Amino acid sequence: QVQLQESGGGSVQAGGSLNLSCTASEYTYKDYCMGWFRQGPAKGYEAVARIYGDSDTGYYADSVQGRFIISKDSAKNILYLQMNSLKPEDTATYYCAAYWRSSCFNSWKRFHYASRGQGTQVTVSL
């Protein structure tokens, strides 16, 4: 089973930025797509962003489109989430997850992950 470990969370004022990282235990991008989801007090669970192993194109929830950027370093097995223009409603625990590539979109939207990390807290204050 793929093991994932997030880092980079913290507290920031509205308008600020954070960059989350997720280190995978093995080469995952050929068999999985990777993504981020969050659990927050305002919206509960929300799928945030995903990316395929053979592409640099990210796909985003409407709520973060234009503010967040998902990327990866396949050589180092690291997934990133650059979060800009943060808002208080972005406050949540952020999870990195691996989804089976064959059902990536549906799995991402429905939180049917093959594996996930333990989460990292992001708090955005006014």
Q: What is the mean pLDDT of residues 3-11?
A: 96
Whether 25 contacts 3, CB under 8 Å? yes
Kindly report, residue by residue over 76-106, the tens digit of the pLDDT.
999 999 999 999 999 999 999 999 988 999 9
**Distance between CA atoms of 68 and 90, rounded to whole angstroms?**
11
Q: Is the pLDDT of residue 28 over 70?
A: no
Q: Which helix (H) or strand (E) holds 95?
A: strand 92-100
Q: In the predicted model, is pLDDT for residue 26 greater than 80?
A: no
Q: What percent of the chain has pLDDT over 70?
A: 98
Is the separation of the CB atoms in 122 and 101 below 8 Å?
no
Residue 30 pLDDT grade (very low, low, confident, very high; cuts 50, 70, 90):
confident
